[in-house]
Amino acid sequence: MAEDQNMSMDQIEFMKRMKAIASDLWGGRYTEEETAETPEPEKKKTPQEKPAAKSPLNIHNLWKTADETIDWTDALAHGAPSDGLTGQRLWSFYHKHAEQILSGNLNAYTEVLQKANPLGELTDFAEEINLRAPDPDRIESTFICKEDLLEEDRKQYLSALGLRIARDLLACLPVSEVAVRGEYEGETVYSVTFTRQQLMHRNFAFVDPVALAEECGAQFI
């Protein structure tokens, strides 16, 4: 090479030694003819990571999630969904009933409960769940306990399901309180009334449902 012709023998020898040292350090073959950097090997493509699977509902996490709250004032004011979550058909139903809901019409309450089905996700945790709205500020729910869940962890089961029922109903309708009663073999085994005020500003990911139920005056029989 022209560059080598302008070098002394000592300089050429020095360059060879430096290349040999580089070869030893990096573990690759390095020859005098190589004048360009060796391209990095192509990185293997790794499959895209799948999002973590959602934990199935059980009596140890049942109360931690709940339905999205329906903003009835917003539903009254807008004919199209403004929350980015509700489909147009269901929102139109809310919009149609919003004025009656906000005025405390109990027939409208019943229609919304039937259409929205706020407790639909809880059917695996009770033999039966019934609802009634005796007045515009209160909903009452009674569930028939499942024997296996009651025997697994009695207080945990009753408290977890009771709290989740209350959260879903408070999210669905603008009531002030939800009364929950659990029954087994025709007898009441659990009763509690949760108020909206009591459940506000709670981090339910860290709530002990038994302690909260007792704080709200729950009776376990």
Does 111 reside within a domain? Answer: no
Q: Are residues 90 and 132 in the same domain?
A: no
Please check the confidence at residue 53 and state whether its pLDDT lies above 80.
no
Q: By the 8 A CB rule, do 218 and 192 touch? A: yes
The domain of 23 spans: 1-33
Does residue 150 share a domain with residue 86?
A: no
Q: In terms of domains, do 129 and 214 share one?
A: yes
For residue 21, pLDDT beyond 50: no
Question: Is 131 in the same domain as 207?
Answer: yes
208 and 131, same domain (yes or no): yes
The CATH number that applies at residue 166 is 3.30.300
Give domain status of residue 48, yes or no: no
Q: How many domains does one find in the chain?
A: 3
Backbone φ/ψ region at 86: left (φ over 0), alpha (ψ -120 to 50), beta: beta
Please check whether residue 65 lies inside any domain of the structure: no
In this model, does residue 162 exceed pLDDT 70?
A: yes
- pTM listed for this prediction: 0.76
The yes-or-no verdict on residue 30 having pLDDT over 60 is no
Do 124 and 212 fall into the same domain? yes
Alpha carbon distance 115, 113 (integer Å): 6
Apex CA 70: angle with CA 218 and CA 175, to 5°? 40
91 & 183 share domain: no
Residue 27 has pLDDT above 50, yes or no: no
Q: Cβ distance 165 to 119 under 8 Å?
A: yes
Let me know whether 124 and 216 are in one domain. Answer: yes
The predicted structure's pLDDT at residue 85: 85
Are 135 and 168 in the same domain?
yes
Are 214 and 145 in the same domain?
Answer: yes
User: What is the H or E stretch that residue 133 is in?
Assistant: strand 128-135
Average pLDDT of span 95-100: 97
Q: Please tell me the distance from the alpha carbon of residue 49 to that of residue 61, in angstroms, as a whole number.
A: 25
* Domain membership flag for residue 139: yes
Q: Are residues 79 and 124 in the same domain?
A: no
**Structural domain contains residue 49:** no
Q: Which two tokens stand for residue 45?
A: 């493509």
One domain, residues 7 and 91? no
Cβ-proximal residues to 182 (8 Å cutoff; 6+ apart), any chain? 142, 143, 144, 145, 158, 161, 162, 188, 189, 190, 191
Task: End-to-end CA distance of the chain: give it in Å, rounded.
Answer: 97
In a domain, 183, yes or no: yes
CB atoms within 10 A of CB 119: 22
* CB of 221 closer than 8 Å to CB of 187: yes
Residue 150 lies in a domain: yes
Using an 8 Å Cβ cutoff, are 182 and 158 in contact?
Answer: yes
